[in-house]
Amino acid sequence: MSKVIAFLGLGNMGGPMAVNLLKDGHTVHGFDPVEAAQQHAKENGVDVRGTAAEAVEGAEVIITMLPSGKHVLDAYQGAEGIPGLLELAAPDTLFIDCSTIAVADAREAARLAHDGGHRAIDAPVSGGVVGAEAGTLAFMVGASEENFAAAQPVLEPMAKRIVHCGEAGAGQAAKVCNNLILAISMIGVSEAFVLGEQLGLTHEALFEVTSNATATCWALNTNCPVPGPVPTSPANRDFTGGFASALMAKDLGLAMHAIESTGTESRLGSMAAQIYQDWAAGEAARLDFSSIITEIREHSTA
Ligand code: NAD
């Protein structure tokens, strides 16, 4: 059934996600403080409003797709004299936060929404801008059974896969674990390819063996960090497009927060976080995270 949805955060991900909701027959009121994001969403048919208050007027569902946990909590509670969404929304509104934020922030957002007389779920995504545009994102959801059932039809036009991971915060927990594996495996694949180069192996031979053997993983088979074996991987276009190193560094910061707060042993996670933090501090911030192979080559003695 079609719904009135307020969509806050019309950036690289939120813009195309809002468009897919529109295409599915929902009424979408968008808001973003940045002029370029507003303009782009308008050109794609989104009814962009001048303020968050105007966007949430009459909305049954409020979706946020914002840069960080602070942005989400500030938007929910209000900041700098701007009233919060929890106050502006009609009673029992369904809040869906799709941003990647800390587990603790997601739990806090859900608690605040519940105390304010609303329902809330965390629903971070993987699949990047390409998945947002194609409506093929993977959603990891933290919610009660009831709230998950209410959110599912809203998520479907944006999704290829929707997994209910548990109660509030469980979606963010799954996201942080996924990206921890991804970062470590990308560094491992990159080190192995540089070692192969040093030992005189061709990329093709090493790929042929590893992608069909026990080393197989997404970082190797789909996002291969060397040009050639997988023609669609970002390495074939100087690491442009794809998943930015800066976003990987951000997600590993969230992983480290979770690792420290739970007392989990994660030596490789800590190293991966440091490696990506250093890499993203420079010009590589915007490059796909598989560009880490360049850093490994630079540090290897020929
Ligand atoms: P982005 O910076 O392109 O978009 C975020 C937008 O939020 C910006 O346009 C900003 O102006 C807007 N914004 C900030 N405060 C706002 C407010 N109070 N109300 C309304 N809008 C507000 O970032 P993105 O790439 O779209 O990522 C959004 C989230 O999705 C992040 O948490 C990111 O980690 C996560 N994510 C991104 C990708 C990716 O590949 N880009 C993949 C998975 C998850």
pLDDT at 231: 97
Number of residues in the chain: 302
Strand ranges in 123-270 using DSSP code E only, listed in sequence order: 125-126, 137-142, 159-166
Contacts of 143 (CB under 8 A, 6+ apart): 120, 121, 122, 123, 151, 164, 167, 168, 171
ipTM score: 0.99
- Ligand 1 near 246 CB (within 6 A): no
User: How do residues 209-234 score in pLDDT, each as one tens digit?
Assistant: 999 999 999 999 999 999 999 999 99
Residues of the chain with pLDDT under 70: none
pLDDT at 165: 98
Query: Does 175 qualify as catalytic in the annotation?
Result: yes
pLDDT at 169: 98
Number of H helices, E strands in the chain: 14, 11
Choose one of 7, 34, 46, 65 to mutate for the ligand 1 pocket test, by most ligand atoms within 8 angstroms of C-beta. Answer: 65
pTM of the predicted protein model? 0.94
Instruction: Show the domains of the chain with their CATH numbers.
Output: 4-166 (3.40.50.720), 173-298 (1.10.1040.10)
- 8 A C-beta contact, residue 217 and residue 190: no
pLDDT at 241: 87
Give me ligand 1 centre to Cα 10, in Å.
Answer: 7
